[in-house]
Amino acid sequence: MQLIELNRSDIISAIQGDGNQLLVAGKSAVTVGNFDGVHKAHYALIDATINSKSSLGLDNSVIFTFQEHPMVLLGDHDPDLLTSSDERLDLFRKSGIDIVVSVEFCDEFAELDYSRFIKLFLCEMCGMQHMVGGYDAHMGNDRSGNVGNILELGHSLNFTFEVISAQTNNAGCVISSSAIRELIGKNGDVKSGNEMLGRPYSVMGIVGYGDGRGESLGYPTANINPLDKLKLVPAPGVYAVRIVYSAETYNGMLNYGSVPTVHEGGLQKPRIEVHLFDFSGSLRGEIVKIEWHNRVRDEQCFASIDDLKLQLSADEKSIRDYFTTVDES
């Protein structure tokens, strides 16, 4: 996969018509979007782009995307990202796409209307002959570039537009980044969220310092701080997780919350604590990947430490049984 990055000065030069504007040589099939999550509906767009390159005899399959989510610039609050920039690029690389054009989303880019954006950046700079978009596609500074307008523009700019219908899960719910955020971030329903993603939801983090209370309970924990502060963390609760570290994968149980039984009144800032099964040693200072597989229960405040210990034992058994069932199926 070839990665082409455009910064703000490149964008301004292109808009002003300065210098060589060609990014991609040859004729291309292109799909455009944020692709946060790179979920099953996104793969429908990417796969159609790759297939149309072949069926139409074009030279390139291209993803046109953004280095940061546009809401970082346009929104009044930071977005809860499902994928970091590095994760998205890694997933793009594995998808089989030929070229990714990743642009810095800046004010000058945000002010372009859809027709200027498509003509300049897609047709002229990427050699677009065929576009693949979703049924709910919107482009341009006023989001006026909808399916109808893009189809009409294709006639004048000599490109075809392929519209991909809504993708649904087994329950008939439309797959989207916002639906996945709702499932995982609000409800902690990582199982349903994973079904829409097509893989376990994951967060990269660095193992920091805790207060050592877990070890005194017989369940030593790794306290993990997410590397990307914009990444969505699932709703507070207890989860069946897998930790990937140094090419090895360990099953474990994770608590995300304020730890009210151990800390009276609960911590002001919730934290991620993971107990790895069948692991000995220290991970402090190491970078690990957390894969969320299933929600076990809400976080609770127990009447005593002994009650907490009993529940932790029950949680461990439940999670070990869960992974045994998953691995055997």
Give the domain ranges of the chain: 2-164, 200-328
Cβ(80)–Cβ(232) below 8 Å: yes
Q: Given this model, what pLDDT does residue 74 score?
A: 67
Per-residue confidence (pLDDT) for residue 321, from 0 to 100: 95
| Annotation: CATH topology of 200-328 | Elongation Factor Tu (Ef-tu); domain 3 (2.40.30)
Tell me 182's DSSP state.
I
- Is this model's pTM higher than 0.85 or not? yes
The whole-number pLDDT of residue 162 equals 97
The DSSP symbol for 173 reads P
The Cα-based distances of 319 to 10, 35, 187, 240, 272 in angstroms read: 51, 32, 19, 6, 17
DSSP element (H, E) containing 70: none
Q: Give the tokens for residue 180.
A: 């996945």
Rounded CA-CA distance 65/89 in Å is: 10
Q: What is the CATH number of domain 2-164?
A: 3.40.50.620
Consecutive sets of 10 residues in the chain, 329 residues long: mean pLDDT of each?
A: 93 82 92 96 98 97 90 71 94 97 90 93 96 92 87 96 96 95 96 97 91 69 92 96 94 91 78 92 91 95 87 94 88
Number of other CB atoms surrounding residue 69 within 10 Å: 22
CA distance 71 to 15: 22
pLDDT value, residue 143:
79
Give residues with Cβ within 8 angstroms of 227, minimum separation 6: 84, 204, 205, 206, 287
Nearest to 4 by CA among 130, 146, 152, 104: 104
The CA-atom distances, in angstroms, between 273 and each of 208, 239, 291 are 10, 10, 13
Angle at 241 between CA 230 and CA 297, to 5 degrees: 95
Check residue 267 and give its pLDDT.
77
The enclosing H or E element of 205 equals strand 201-208
